[in-house]
Structure 1
Amino acid sequence: MKTNILFFAFFILFVNPSYTQDMTSIQTDRPDQTECPFITPKHYFQIESGFSYEKGHDDTSEIIAQSFLTRFGVNDFFELRLITEFVNTNEYSNKYSGINPILIGFKTRLLKENGIIPNTSLIGHLGIPKAASSDYKVNNYYPEFRFTMQHTINEKQSLSYNLGAEWNGLSNNPTYIYTLTTGYSFTDKMGAYLELYGFLVQFEKPDHRFDAGLTYLITPNHQFDVSGGIGFSKDSPDFYIALGYSFRFKI
């Protein structure tokens, strides 16, 4: 499966590079935790894949061996989304592996940047409880949503932030999400970001984190990224590292 996806991506990269000469470069929701407000172009598939390793306290860790965010642009204001993740979890002496519940969803544009008004979109997902491996199945369908906003500071720098909430299918208590990031373009191909983000759960201590990363635009349709972060709070993971590759193509 991975081999077929990579072959397809490189086929598009080297055999058919011309169809987006007049389009803006790919805009991705990775590698930072702040989702971008931009919609996948109409009739384009965009696939954002990644690998990450997260080290928790004591003898706990999680490896997302492969994650895929698949996006399809319906029109200039709306896209469909599908998220799949293959996970390896190590909790003290217990080890699990399998597929997390699949998430289906959308992103819709709400506002276009105008002065102090940022580019704004709404993202919503629904977790399918039984569409998962046995170790990761949950009891209920569960929603996620976030508003994603972005300001243009100048032609090289932007300021973005998200506010939202998510559930886990096990509890009725939501986890509130915030993110704040600034991105900077060193060149037309190389960019970087710094980010603060966190999770706030009712009756639990807050989980605040920091991360940073680099992106490299191979072509207007293909991007590579690397990132890493640390936890600030007592209950936060110690650190994480991640690699990713994203591409898009028109049907």
Structure 2
Amino acid sequence: MRTFFFVFALLLYAAAAATAQMTEEIETDRPDQTETPFLVPRKFIQAEFGMSAEKYGAGRSQLVHPASLLKYGLSNRFELRLETTVLTEYLPYIPATKTNTLLQPVEVGTKLRLFEEKGARPKASLITHISLPFAASKQLRSGTPSYAARLSLQNSLTKNISLGYNLGVEKSDEPTAFFYTFAPGFSLGEKWYAYVEAFGSFANNVAEHNLDGGLAYFISHNTKIDLSSGFGLGDSPLKNYVAIGLSFRLSLCKP
């Protein structure tokens, strides 16, 4: 835990030192589950890091330390993505709790801008990911990669209120899962942003539904920190979670 916060502080310092000049604030896929339809600007690299403590049913819990998403703006319509997650599982056993630290299968993907917002038509992008089974901890390696596709949509309701929502599907060794997110967002002055969100999935005639919410603070146009928390509804295996995050972008162009 102390190591994470030390690394987090170093990343925050590096991000605050970024000199790229952008008039528009950074758009990120975190902290909510709703991926933004905005792309990273062309020839910019963007990093999004997060850590979360999560509790599930039957006394199981896990610490994500960290989840990272790296993005590169290849063009005005196309973005490259690389996602990694390192976590430690805490499994209740007698006489002692068993722990496993794992690298989840690394995912590579793209985001394609489809169209801009116009009237009632939302801003839209298509996100696709594929996992690399060989790029994972030994216990999680398999011969079958998983695939995911997500339609990311957003409407501007007022100057300070937006509505983001996603629809997607994931194919893996498990039954095919369909998922959704629905997240109203609120700009609170020039520096703060807040959201509430419903998200869930449907697989093999089983539905899971969850709620969360969070705050984000813009240190600069290029740097943002966030805090979020959520919980499961009904029979959802998720009981609750809390997460913190840091996102920043850097220009690869010469000033």
TM-score normalised by L of structure 2: 0.91
Question: 2:248 maps to what in 1?
Answer: 247
* Structure 1 unaligned spans of 5+: none
- Give the drift of 1:7: 4.0
The equivalent residue for 1:115 is 119
CA separation of 1:115 and 1:229: change in aligned 2, threshold 3 A: same
SS in 2 for 1:135: helix
User: What does the per-residue CA deviation read over 1:31-53, in whole Å, with 9 as the maximum and x for residues that have no partner?
Assistant: 00000000000000000000011
- Tell whether 2:203 aligns with 1:201: yes
Query: In the TM superposition, what is the alpha-carbon distance from 1:25 to its structure 2 partner?
Result: 0.7
Q: Which residue of 2 aligns with 1:74?
A: 74
Residues 80 and 105 in structure 1, CA contact (< 8 A), matched pair in contact too: yes
Q: Is the 8 A contact 2:210 2:236 kept in 1?
A: no
Seen in structure 2, the aligned counterparts of structure 1 residues 4 and 216 have a Cα distance that, compared at 3 Å, is closer
Structure 2 counterpart of 1:131, which letter?
Answer: A
1:223 maps to what in 2?
224
**What is the distance in 2 between the residues matched to 1:175 and 1:90?**
25
Give TM-score scaled by structure 1 length: 0.92
Aligned to 1:155: 159
CA distance in 1, matches of 2:152, 2:61: 29
Question: Where in structure 2 are the equivalents of 1:1-150 lying within 5 Å?
Answer: 7=10, 10-14=13-17, 16-17=18-19, 19-21=20-22, 23-93=23-93, 94-150=98-154
Aligned length: 245
**Partner of residue 214, structure 2:** 213
In 2, Cα distance between equivalents of 1:58 and 1:4: 32
Gaps of 5+ in 2: none
Mean Cα deviation higher: 194-203 or 77-86: 194-203
Root-mean-square deviation (CA, aligned residues, Å) is: 1.8
SS in 1 for 2:57: coil
- CA–CA distance in 2 between the matches of 1:7 and 1:54? 24
- Whether the 8 Å contact between 2:56 and 2:239 is mirrored in structure 1 is yes
